[in-house]
Amino acid sequence: MKKKNSSGIDCVMDVFDGLKTAGKVLQEAGKIEQYAQILEAQKNILEQQKRISDLEIENKDLKEKLELKGKVKFERNAYWIVEEGKEDDGPFCSCCYDDGKKLIRMMPGWSESERNCPKCKNKGVSVRPIQ
Ligand SMILES: [Zn+2]
């Protein structure tokens, strides 16, 4: 039943299952007060499980952002994702990236070298030479 890679969630669920078993025994034995304590503990465990899950998601997100941060370079009035052996990906709006680290892909403007951000008012940005 156990997964290969034990995460925080799995550990919490092991404790939860243990409490469930203990609760069942207490309920059958008519120990209502103790059974109520078990139920309360189970409720707390579920809250903790939710918290761990939220933190794991947040942590994954931050790791991805951190990894990306090393690849995002400011060049030619915009941000680009620069990776070895790959063409530069971009341009991304400098305004949006500087304010909230959002990579918003810029769209072609009126001329070849111009790019507009579809999200903010950053328009007519010259990003020449285009790759
Ligand atoms: Zn923008």
88-119 pLDDT per residue, tens: 999 999 999 999 889 999 999 888 789 999 99
Flag whether pLDDT at 3 surpasses 50.
no
Angle, CA 69 vertex, CA 67 and CA 72 arms, to 5°: 120
Contact 42, 50 (CB under 8 A): no
Give 57 Cα–ligand 1 centroid separation in angstroms.
26
Flag whether pLDDT at 6 surpasses 90.
no
Beta-carbon contacts of residue 98 (< 8 Å; ≥ 6 apart): none
What DSSP letter does each residue of 29-98 carry, written as one string?
A: TT-HHHHHHHHHHHHHHHHHHHHHHHHHHHHHHHHHHHHHHTTEEEETTEEEE--TTSPPEEEE-HHHHH
Give 87 Cα–ligand 1 centroid separation in angstroms.
22
Give 95 Cα–ligand 1 centroid separation in angstroms.
5
Q: Is the pTM of this model over 0.85?
A: no
Give 94 Cα–ligand 1 centroid separation in angstroms.
7
Please give all residues whose CB falls under 5 A of ion ligand 1, grouped by chain where several chains appear: 93, 95-96, 104, 117, 119-120, 122
User: What pLDDT is attached to residue 2?
Assistant: 47
39-74 pLDDT per residue, tens: 999 999 899 889 999 999 999 999 988 888 889 999
